[in-house]
Amino acid sequence: MNCLKTDICIIGGGPAGYVAAIVAGRLGASVALVEKEHIGGTCLNWGCIPTKALLKTSEAMDIVKKCNEFGVNAAVSSVEAGNAVARKDRIVKSLRAGLEHLLKSPEIRILKGEGFIETPNKIRVQTDNGAVMVDCDKLIITSGSKTLIPSIPGMDSEGVITSNEAINLTEIPESMTIIGAGAIGLELATLFSSMGTKITVAELQDRILPQEDPEISAELLKVMKRQGIKFKLAANVKEIKKVDDGLATIIEEVENKSEIVSEKVLVAIGRKTNLTPDIESLGLKINGKTIAVNEFMETSIPNVYAAGDIVGGRLLAHLAFAEGRAAAENACGGRVKVNYNAVPSCVYTCPEVATVGINETEAIEKGYSIKTGRFNFRNNGRALCQGHRDGFVKVVADKETGIILGAQILGNNASELISEITLAITLQARAEDLANMIHPHPALSEAVMEACGDASGQAIHK
């Protein structure tokens, strides 16, 4: 068995792992990065990037459908799913190549294979060329998460897929039932609906995006219904079975039982952590199925750190970036903390959803006396020019100090607009600071300004 001595060994090459490797390498540590599949993890290869590439195709199709509204005479053509998937693959391949180039450093050694933690200082990596024993001073566990598959009879039926298979479909299904109305389910509902698939979404909770602000959920539901997407809420999926014309999804609602027949069934109920037996056998403190860490990303075992999905919370790539950076800096002697009060979350539906900080309900539960501000995109000049009038910006601020506690945005380019509020929360800015800041005109960001103005009694166009 080959041996490798290194300062830090990182298990998992996803967002937390590869960022940790780059940061630790730049700080002068020797690093072994272990990844059994592709560098970039789920986000780059199967999640964030592939879905957004395909959603751009969805957006293009929507523009073609609405071209007459903009004074353009063009025939609506069908989507070539194979070409869309090929474009997605090119984008993923390009980004992966760029990432691998960043990791080409004398300090970083990439080991492609499955890592098994034998002790906190010894990791056996099974590669195609045999086993390598990594002897490390410190260990960072960034093993990520994987698709959660529910225990429903018929889940193994042909035609039942997960998001991994959905992003590689080269033929557009005529109909699809999506189980789960979280971010993954709704993004894929948006994608396939725009391409002509008849979509029905079944959700166990009584509203879509159950983790988000109720007003955002309710408004997005109205918009998606207008787009032709059907919903079954408070619906418990009991079984999936083959029938003559496809797959029947049997659901139990409050007062009745029904079935949805479709060509495909997409399971999108969420993800679960990759808490492998070797990790559990280390004797780390575990919370449910996640590794417990302190504010410095340290586990209960000295010199062992963890970051990303494996530590729980919101499973977001950009949060994993921050946690991976913190873990690496702290493994190299720092005392860095992640600011969990300023973590944006985005759902790339049409329109998009973006939130940061806490919403009204959460603020009240935490004991804050609050004031809120709101501005609708239908009153924003740029939104009307772009043909995207749905949605609003809502800001939550502390009533006494005016400091912004959170914001929720439903609208076009919400994922870009949320960064202004994220910066405000990071700097503990007041609503009136953003209301008085000069914004470009016409611009979608004026809706943020006006919502902050509404919260501080200074709105101009409301």
Catalytic site residues?
Answer: 441
Nearest Cα residue to 35 out of 26, 45, 25, 48: 45
User: Judging by beta carbons within 10 Å of its beta carbon (0-12, 13-18, 19+), is residue 299 exposed, middle or buried?
Assistant: buried
Q: How many residues does the chain have?
A: 462
Reported as type and span, the H/E element at residue 163 is: helix 163-166
**C-alpha–C-alpha distance, residues 342 and 94, integer Å:** 30
Nearest Cα residue to 161 out of 144, 185, 137: 185
H helices, E strands: number in the chain: 14, 23
Helix-, strand-, coil-residue percentages of the chain, each rounded to 5: 35, 30, 35
**C-alpha–C-alpha distance, residues 300 and 202, integer Å:** 40
Structure tokens at 101: 């180039």
Which residue in this structure is represented by tokens 């590869």? Answer: 18
Is 281 within 8 Å of 118 (Cβ atoms)? Answer: no
User: Judging by beta carbons within 10 Å of its beta carbon (0-12, 13-18, 19+), is residue 172 exposed, middle or buried?
Assistant: middle
357: left (phi over 0), alpha (psi -120 to 50) or beta: left
Angle between helices 48-65 and 183-194 (to 10 degrees): 40
Reported as type and span, the H/E element at residue 172 is: none
**427 contacts: CB under 8 Å, gap ≥ 6:** none
Is 257 within 8 Å of 171 (Cβ atoms)? Answer: no
Is 279 within 8 Å of 306 (Cβ atoms)? Answer: no
Torsion of CA 42, 46, 48, 51, to 10 degrees: -170
